[in-house]
Amino acid sequence: MAIIATVGKRIEERVALRIPTANFPYSIIDPNAKPGDRMRFEGEVVHVDDDLGRVTVQALGRVTVDAETVHLVRKFRRPKGKVPLINEPG
């Protein structure tokens, strides 16, 4: 999954990031980023809360946002293994 963040103000070599629907501020070190730039951060989904419609993604640490603000970057592919994940009755 990917999260799109907008660069806010610069504080020395760090820039503040605004992530839609995230409850906490984030910052990164990026010498080339300017205020208003958009950045994409990719990560794995750690938790899905269907009741609240929120998703936790492991990008920039753990970021919890509304499900509508994350973008699918690649399809889920089942691991190629010969051992079934569920034992078949028999």
Residue 88 in any domain: the answer is: no
Would the pTM of this model clear 0.75, i.e. be above it? Answer: no
Residue 89 in any domain: the answer is: no
Residue 76 in any domain: the answer is: no
pLDDT tens string for the chain (90 positions)? 888 899 999 988 899 999 888 888 888 999 889 999 999 988 888 999 989 999 998 987 888 899 888 888 776 676 777 766 666 665
Long-range contacts of 22-31 (CB under 8 A, 24+ apart): 22/63, 22/64, 22/65, 23/64, 26/60, 26/61, 26/63, 28/60
Domain span including residue 48: 2-71
Residue 25 in any domain: the answer is: yes
